[in-house]
Amino acid sequence: MPANAADFADETTKTTSDTGGRLTAEAQRSFADARARIEQAVQDGLEQLRAQSRAYADTASQQLEQAQQYVTERVRERPLAATGAALGVGVLIGLLLSSGRR
């Protein structure tokens, strides 16, 4: 037991600073653990996103290749009809673009 009030205040301050130091260290460890878990979750999410985007890109590439083959075959079967269709689409686009300038 402290002999006077000053000794009691010193012991109280020492106990409080020890408790505060432990709480600060625990808080820092908790924040470090939380940061590590968040970083891991973000890395996992990015890796999953990369894998999905690769799969979608592959699928889109295959579909574009099939569409290109289809169009090429149709143009070879009927070259005059394809030329007329392209000319018609070009005229329509030209009319739409020119009407916006008036």
CA–CA gap between residue 73 and residue 84 (Å, rounded): 16
pLDDT of residue 95: 93
Whole-angstrom distance, CA of residue 33 vs CA of residue 30: 5
| Block mean pLDDT (10 aa), the chain, length 102 | 55 64 86 94 95 94 96 94 95 90 64
Q: How far apart are CA 34 and CA 13, in angstroms?
A: 31
Per-residue model confidence (pLDDT) at position 35: 94
Tell me, what's the pLDDT at 22? Answer: 83
Instruction: Give pLDDT, residue 23.
Output: 82
**pTM score, whole prediction:** 0.47
Q: Which two tokens stand for residue 24?
A: 């600060």
